[in-house]
A and B are shown apart, each in its own frame.
Chain A
Amino acid sequence: MTHSTLPDGSPIIQPKGEIDLSNSSSFEQEVEAALSSSPAACVVDLTRVTFLDSSVIRILMTAQRSLSAHQGLLVLVVKGGVAERVVRLTRFDLIPDVLVLGRLEEAQTAIAALRAAPPDDASLAQRRD
């Protein structure tokens, strides 16, 4: 896994390969470490993940809870493959304080845009429709 940050200092986590119950604990530690400083946003780039199971969903859901406790954003980057399928099946896009993007480069502007105009319940309902 590689580490970097967005220009605003939000951590980016970029796991690779297959993540399942057997090795998800290291991914979990990575996420916990990134969230320990209560960042305004945390980006998880799943574009290089070839397989993931429900243990990853659990870790991402936990991350969302911990981030949304202080109005932080969870940004998921997926582009095709199993990761996109799982994120799409789980409808992360409907979860408050979660952004699903196709490219890591969009993260900074998308976060800024959301901060400028936070979605209200009506727009959430619209997205669902």
Chain B
Amino acid sequence: MLRPGGPELPTLEPRPKGRDWRGYLAAVAFVALMTLVLQESRPYMELINYPVFYVLVMMASAYLFGEGPALLAFLLCFLAFAYYSLSPGLDLPRGSQAEESVAKLVAFLMGSVTACLAMLKIRNANRDLRQSHRVLEAVLEHVPEGIAIADADSSAISSVSRHGLELLGQPPEARGPWPVEASVGAWGLRDTKGGERSLEETPLWRALRQGEVVSNEEWRIERPDGRVVSVIYNAGPITSRSGEIRGAIAAWRDITHLTEARRTLEEALRRQHYIAEQLQRALLPESSKVLSGLEVAGAYLPAYDNLLVGGDFYDAFETATGQVALLVGDVSGKGLEAAALTAAARNMIRGFAYATSSAPEALTLANAALYEQFYAVRGFVTVFLGLVDPATGVLRYVSAGHCPAVIRRSDGTSELTEPTDTVVGAIRGYRFGGGQSHLGPGERIVVYTDGLEDAKGPSGRFGADRIRACLTGNRSLGAADQELADLLHQAKEWSEGRFGDDVAIVVLCRPSEDGASPRSAQPGGKTAFGVEPSVPGQGGTLPWPYPHGPQSGLSDPREC
């Protein structure tokens, strides 16, 4: 039954307004009838037996009509019995027998009160029981969940709600008890993949036998009619006051439409991911090349387990005046929308940078041109655009809301570029200012997106300081693509091969004064760009030109 402190039940028996006179009348009639019967049976019955009959009348009044009529019946019975016992008009023996009669009267009084109280208690208990039962029946009937109640002693399911029978594909008139085994056998309970499970693994059994509270477990029901229903299961034990498991209750809800929706969504996301990734790949330049004597290498790595492709991109090209442009960007947002904006942003910035040969001017124009497009999706793009004069090494750049680029000096130290401007595409009419630096012979610049800084490992994020440390110190300098591969290798080791976000990186090296490319100094290097392609999936970058795009050349983080 429902425990005290549990839900308040509605009162099903309407309480009478005022006294129900019919109960009182019936009680009077009962007593009168009994007195009449006793009067007639006087020749055959001793007075001592009378109380027994009167007590019966009182008990009947208490059980059938409640407290008030019971009290009236008691008073009437008492008067009648007192009349019989004490009336001098009756031919009763006097003397010592009178005291005996008083004693009998007191005994009668006590007996009748006790009997009445007991009867009232039973009456009320019965009423409560019926009420709780009716509430329970209503719950089982109307709650849109399957509910089963099992009994510990008989190891049987005593009742299943109407909706439960419906979900199980059983006829609505089916009545228990069913053995607990029915849940795996006749009722076809399976795991989410449709595999059969032992009885001991089912929620109801675990609640019934181990007292386990099972919450929100996914199961499948393979119904006799062949339909498969996905359900979410909850179960828990019903315990006695001493904590002994007396039974269990299980509830299951139909989530078929939810699982189907989830599957459709996953499928759609996967398709979108594929399209966006193809778009992204088509956008990216090849991984390494030489532009006006400057070596450039770039890489893009998609996030490990994010179905939505991010908007990271990179590019390197010569402008109209022969400067070498270095472009890395990150469009806010993910998915197809971001991929489309990425294409627009990259191509537009490239076009303006080519035409103007000025980073601030190119981004001011791109910002004006892209504003409406970005405004529509409340997005923006962070950009690092640097233009290097290959003859002098002067670097004019704009760092628009982007991570600082790292410049490695020839003495082994490093510098970070200043953040110069806000993001592109967010502020209408914004004029970009930019900054300036210089790349000496043998010096290099590394530009990346925040996915590299934010790469999470067991000991935290990779971070800007660690990136800087990877690029500086007394280490031998490789070619641009070697530098890139080293940095990626360290970041991958840090994050155990899984980037939580997309990463784009570009490295640009200015050759040392003797004109020798770092690559040509490497043992085994045939010519500046004659290194054999690495085995796909084994790390490293590929020589320019590489016809299949960069990803196949770089080791895929998903394979790590």
Residues of chain A whose beta carbon lies under 8 Å from any beta carbon of chain B: 53-55, 57-58, 61-62, 64-65, 88-92, 94-96, 128-129
Q: For residue B454, which residues in chain A have a CB less than 8 angstroms away from its CB?
A: 53
Given known pairs A61-B426, A89-B402, A89-B403, the reply for A54 and B420 (CB within 8 Å) is no
B450 at the interface (CB under 8 A from A): yes
Question: Contact partner of B419 among A54, A58, A61, A91, CB < 8 A?
Answer: A91
Secondary structure at chain A's binding surface: helix, strand, loop or mixed? Answer: helix
How far does the alpha carbon of A91 sit from the alpha carbon of B430 in the complex, in Å? 12
Given known pairs A58-B379, A58-B380, A61-B380, the reply for A92 and B433 (CB within 8 Å) is no
Query: Do A88 and B419 touch across chains, with their CB atoms under 8 A apart?
Result: yes
Query: Do B332 and A58 touch across chains, with their CB atoms under 8 A apart?
Result: yes
Question: Contact partner of A89 among B333, B380, B404, CB < 8 A?
Answer: B404
Query: Do A96 and B332 touch across chains, with their CB atoms under 8 A apart?
Result: no
How far does the alpha carbon of A88 sit from the alpha carbon of B399 in the complex, in Å? 11
Given known pairs A53-B454, A57-B401, the reply for A92 and B378 (CB within 8 Å) is no
B385 to chain A, nearest CB (A): 15
4 nearest A-B residue pairs (beta carbon): A90-B401, A61-B426, A91-B422, A89-B419
A10 to chain B, nearest CB (A): 22
Q: For residue B402, which residues in chain A have a CB less than 8 angstroms away from its CB?
A: 89
Q: For residue B450, which residues in chain A have a CB less than 8 angstroms away from its CB?
A: 53-54
30 CB < 8 A contacts A-B: A53-B454, A54-B330, A54-B332, A54-B382, A54-B450, A57-B332, A58-B332, A58-B333, A61-B378, A61-B423, A61-B426, A61-B427, A64-B427, A65-B375, A65-B426, A88-B419, A89-B401, A89-B402, A89-B403, A89-B404, A90-B382, A90-B419, A90-B422, A90-B423, A91-B401, A94-B421, A94-B430, A95-B427, A95-B430, A96-B427
How far does the alpha carbon of A92 sit from the alpha carbon of B402 in the complex, in Å? 12
Q: For residue A90, which residues in chain B have a CB less than 8 angstroms away from its CB?
A: 382, 401, 419, 422-423
B443 to chain A, nearest CB (A): 23
Give the number of chain B interface residues (Cβ < 8 Å).
Answer: 25
Given known pairs A53-B450, A58-B378, the reply for A92 and B422 (CB within 8 Å) is yes
- Chain B residue at smallest Cβ distance from A60: B426
- Chain A residue at smallest Cβ distance from B419: A89
